[in-house]
Structure 1
Amino acid sequence: MKFLYFLPVVLLTACATSAPNPEYAANLKSAKAICQAHCDGDYDAWKSYFAEDAVIHAAEHGSDPLGVDEAAEFYAGLHAISEDITYDGIFLPGVDTLQMQPDGSVRAYIQWDSKFKPTGEPFPGVLKAYHYWNFEEGKVHQAGTFYDAGGFSNLVASMMPAETPDPATTPAE
């Protein structure tokens, strides 16, 4: 019977929520600024949110982790095929995976939209992605992106306009 007196205390303690990490608000602002810098193609601004030794994981299968400059070059390359990039995201606080406590990191489910630059037509649908940014001392020290990279590559290939043969290299009939 005495056990029943302690049961509510145990249940309330188990269900208690932890306080939000005080760094999350500033980190959230940085994560949104990173997304906007990508939309704007401003990779100097984009890089300013990352620590010099940050590690960035791209979505492509088998790809090696990227440094900040490599990642900026990779994402800037998307502007060769895309224009008018916009995003709509749901941003959430991340947790330390060992202690399950808010750690100031930012997670996001983002829908990216843009136009296909070679044709000016909108991409069909949106690119749905999951992103994470882990922070140390106000800078991103690790980031990653998950989306269907193969499907996106296939979509881009299918949208490329057919090449017109060059009359100078086409044999005369």
Structure 2
Amino acid sequence: VAKLVIGIVIGALVVYLIMNSSEDAQTSTNLSESPAYVANKAVAEAMFQAVIDEDMEAWAATVSDTVKYTSPSYAPGTATGAGTKEDWMKDTQRLVDNYDDFSIENAVYLPGLDGQTAEPNGSVRVYVHWNATHSSGVKVDPWFYYNFDGFEGGKITTYGAFGDAGGVMNNVAAASAGE
């Protein structure tokens, strides 16, 4: 009798799975084809390209005037996520002023999901392996993680960057001092 019950349960489960195969389920392939994600990824890529080109005007065109910015370094006003477009622009300008030969060695873009529903929400996550040369001649190649959690009207409204900014600065200082 137990074997019969187990057989019926397994059979019912197989029938259920076959009849309820989820062709509508989001897959990693169609998540990355979401129109909102594709459009927002293009904005993020344009922002990175503006940094590579050291074009602050093009950079500013990708960022909302009301952006909420979280810096990878603990600058006043930004470590809490309360940074503004002006804060972000100052940080980006400091990079452009102090580094040359920006390039991206590797970038891995991922579509974001809503934390409650696990549905695609158009946000963009990206891991970037940068290469640049400090004005002292020191070459740096850090990895940073970026989250672009909000977009409106083709502009970034919520942004965070995470990486070892202090480590990069310490490496430049040590190399510049001949250590």
| Contact kept? 1:47, 1:69, Cα under 8 Å | no
Question: Gaps (5+ residues) in structure 1?
Answer: 163-173
Aligned-partner SS, 2:35: coil
Aligned twin of 1:155: 171
Aligned twin of 2:146: 131
Equivalent-residue separation in structure 2 for 1:91 and 1:69 (angstroms): 26
Number of matched pairs: 158
CA displacement at 1:121 relative to structure 2 = 4.2
TM-score between the two structures when normalised by the length of structure 1: 0.80
Aligned-partner SS, 1:108: strand
Structure 1 stretch 61-70 or stretch 90-99: which is displaced more? 61-70
Equivalent-residue separation in structure 2 for 1:146 and 1:95 (angstroms): 19
The answer to whether 1:41 aligns with 2:54 is yes
The answer to whether 1:6 aligns with 2:23 is no
| Contact kept? 1:55, 1:68, Cα under 8 Å | yes
Equivalent-residue separation in structure 2 for 1:36 and 1:7 (angstroms): 46
Partner residue of 1:142 out of 146, 158, 174: 158
Aligned-partner SS, 2:170: helix
Partner residue of 1:83 out of 85, 100, 103: 100
CA displacement at 1:61 relative to structure 2 = 4.3
Aligned-partner SS, 1:103: strand
CA displacement at 1:146 relative to structure 2 = 0.8
CA displacement at 1:89 relative to structure 2 = 0.9
| Contact kept? 2:107, 2:127, Cα under 8 Å | yes
Alpha-carbon distance change, 14 to 59 in structure 1, aligned in 2, over 3 angstroms: farther
Q: RMSD between aligned alpha carbons?
A: 2.3
TM-score between the two structures when normalised by the length of structure 2: 0.77
Aligned-partner SS, 2:26: coil
Aligned amino acid, residue 155 of structure 2: K
Equivalent-residue separation in structure 2 for 1:76 and 1:156 (angstroms): 18
Partner residue of 2:122 out of 98, 104, 107: 104
CA displacement at 1:161 relative to structure 2 = 4.3
Aligned twin of 2:88: 71
| Contact kept? 1:54, 1:141, Cα under 8 Å | yes
Equivalent-residue separation in structure 2 for 1:29 and 1:83 (angstroms): 24
CA displacement at 1:104 relative to structure 2 = 1.1
Aligned amino acid, residue 46 of structure 2: A
Greater helix proportion: 2
Partner residue of 2:26 out of 14, 17, 27: 17
CA displacement at 1:16 relative to structure 2 = 2.9
Equivalent-residue separation in structure 2 for 1:26 and 1:72 (angstroms): 23
Partner residue of 2:42 out of 29, 44, 48: 29
Aligned amino acid, residue 109 of structure 1: Y
Aligned-pair identity in percent equals 27
